[in-house]
Amino acid sequence: MKKDKITIWDVAKLANVSIMTVSRVISKKGKVKESTRIKIQDAIKELHYQPNVAARSLSGSVSYFLGLIYDNPNEAYLNQVLMGALHKCNDYGYNLIISSFESDTDGNYKIDKALIDRAKVDGIIIPPPLCDSLEILSTLTEANIPIVRIAPQTMLDYSPFVCMDDRAAAYEITEYLINQGHKKIGFIVGHPDHGASKLRFDGMKEALTDNGLALNEDYVQQGYFSYKSGSNCAETLLGLEDRPTAIFASNDDMAAAAISTAHKYGLSVPGDISVVGFDDVPLASAIWPKLTTIQQPIMAMAEKAAEFLMYPDPEKEKDNILDYKLIIRDSVAPLARTY
């Protein structure tokens, strides 16, 4: 009694056309008279027909699969990328295949071509830090697979990408701190392998300079984007004789660590010390006080990346710098003036 799988043939029969015409309608290629298109679309609806990906993929030049590869970045970051890509894929009838590319101890990536060959993906989305690995990029290019990178820092001419202006964002949040009266600003640098770390540091330094402030080397600590590294850096910063009145951590995890370290020292945040982060991951609003931070449009970047791959268009690809947003919450207080 159960209906068998519905194929393009069933649709063709019902609409009284050939399967090729149906194919033209579903893949939006070639010309079909408006009236027949409607007839066919009605038939598709009536039968609840869904084209079979495997067949389309096998036969045609499009696989309807997009790949997303990742190394172990921040979990929340990955999640955002994932959700963004997923949404867009679902919208356009694509599927997303996710695969981890783990680096060996030397930081080299063993390229597992499985993803590539197995599913014949139409393109691959590459978030950081993978997007800055020449090894990966060249392998993919050789295999002739289109890629779109998310927030790459190097080799910007290598491929289409989407990003935000890290430098400008760091500049803005630093200036915000300065406007609140802070002059002694500690900075926790991000992971040296992530190009964004340098940009954020640059933006911060520039804001300092433009406001007539000098950079105090003691106030700069090298972190690695991890909570742990943030703790260590904050430990050093807060242990300083003449400690900063504000700390700018290059991501939220490290900022959260800084807050927690301050608490441990009996310092109130933002009463005794202000802290700002970067990224606006869920953690940022799950801690107390809630973090003032920069909201990265991570999901939007992933959506755009997916779009670029599904509908390549050199024109659109120039519109690839998305807006960040300064999110003011509770972790910064104006500096009480001291004479």
Partner DNA sequence: TGTTATAGTGTTAACGTTAACATTTTTAAT
Partner DNA sequence: ATTAAAAATGTTAACGTTAACACTATAACA
Cis peptide bond prior to 289, omega within 30° of 0: yes
Binding range to DNA, per CB under 7 A, among 14-22, 83-91, 127-135, 259-267: 14-22
Q: Which of 55, 134, 240, 321 binds its own copies (CB under 8 A)?
A: 55
Check residue 26 for interaction with DNA (CB under 7 A). yes
Instruction: Output the smallest distance, CB 47 to its own copies, in A.
Output: 11
Residue 2 in contact with DNA, rule: CB under 7 A = no
Among 19, 26, 47, 53, binds its own copies (CB under 8 A): 53
Contact 334, 180 (CB under 8 A): yes
CB-facing half-sphere around the CA of 54: CA atoms within 13 A: 1
Give the C-alpha separation, 336 to 327, whole Å: 22
The encoded tokens of residue 8 equal 């393009």
50 lies in the binding site for its own copies (CB under 8 A): yes
Instruction: Return the closest-CA partner of residue 331 out of 257, 231, 239.
Output: 257
Asked whether position 253 contacts its own copies by CB under 8 A, the answer is: yes
- The amino acid occupying position 199 is L
Shortest Å distance, C-beta 109 to DNA: 25
Choose the one of its own copies, DNA, none that binds residue 24, judging by a C-beta under 5 to 8 angstroms depending on kind: DNA
At residue 229, the 3 state secondary structure works out as helix
Q: Which region, judged by CB under 7 A, interacts with DNA, from 26-34, 123-131, 195-203, 245-253?
A: 26-34
Rule CB under 8 A: is residue 232 a binding residue for its own copies? no
Residue of 29, 45, 228, 316 interacting with DNA (CB under 7 A): 29
Taking the complex as a whole, the smallest distance from the CB of residue 14 to DNA amounts, in Å, to: 13
- Site residues (CB under 8 A) for its own copies, limited to 85-114: 86-87, 90, 93, 95-100, 113-114
Which residue among 260, 312, 322, 326 contacts its own copies (CB under 8 A)?
A: 260
- Rank residues 7 and 139 by Cβ distance to DNA and give the closer one: 7
By C-alpha distance, which of 248, 270, 236 is closest to 190? Answer: 248
C-alpha angle 42-44-46 in degrees, rounded to nearest 5 = 70
Binds its own copies by CB under 8 A, chosen from 20, 38, 54, 240: 54
Q: Which 58-97 positions form the footprint of DNA (CB under 7 A)?
A: 58-62
Q: What would the two tokens of residue 331 be?
A: 């972790």
Cα-based distances in Å from 94 to 75, 244, 331: 24, 50, 41
Listed in sequence order, the residues at least 6 apart from 91 whose beta carbon sits closer than 8 Å to its beta carbon are none
Peptide linkage before 244 cis (omega within 30 of 0)? no
Rg (CA), the chain: 25
- Write down the least CB distance from residue 316 to DNA, Å: 22
Helix or strand (DSSP H, E) at 39: helix 34-47
Q: What is the contact surface with its own copies in residues (CB under 8 A)?
A: 48, 50-55, 57-58, 63, 75-76, 78-79, 82, 86-87, 90, 93, 95-100, 113-114, 117-120, 227, 253, 256-257, 259-261, 263-264, 282-283, 285-288
